[in-house]
Amino acid sequence: MSAKISVIVYILICLEVGVLLAYLPWSPFWYENFFLSFLVNKLHASWLVPVLQSGYVKGAISALGIVNILAGLRDIFKFRESVHQLSDLDNTPSNAAKFE
């Protein structure tokens, strides 16, 4: 039962992180980012703003989001296999020897 819950939580995290990484670079939040302003002021790195607002960087971050979404979808379609593999990890001989 815990293997199923673990796989479901993994799928939800993958999908959530993927959607955020795919969406946030193209949203207004990316330009009005408190954390970016804080880093620029603390590090005196004015070059950081144009780099992070570059289309190439935003595209790379969105691509990472799409990879996360695809990883979540893969585990949705192979749910039983993922649960079985995770259950097999729990039933390794090292764990079985502890209970004897």
**28-46 residue pLDDT tens:** 888 888 888 888 888 888 8
The SS3 of residue 25 is helix
Task: Kindly report the average pLDDT of the chain as a whole number.
Answer: 86
Host domain of residue 81: 2-98
Residue 27 reports pLDDT greater than 80 = yes
For the beta carbon of residue 81, count every other beta carbon within 10 angstroms: 11
**Pair 21, 68: CB distance under 8 Å:** yes
The C-alpha angle 79, 65, 45, rounded to 5 degrees, equals 150
pTM of the model: 0.76
Number of compact structural domains in the chain: 1
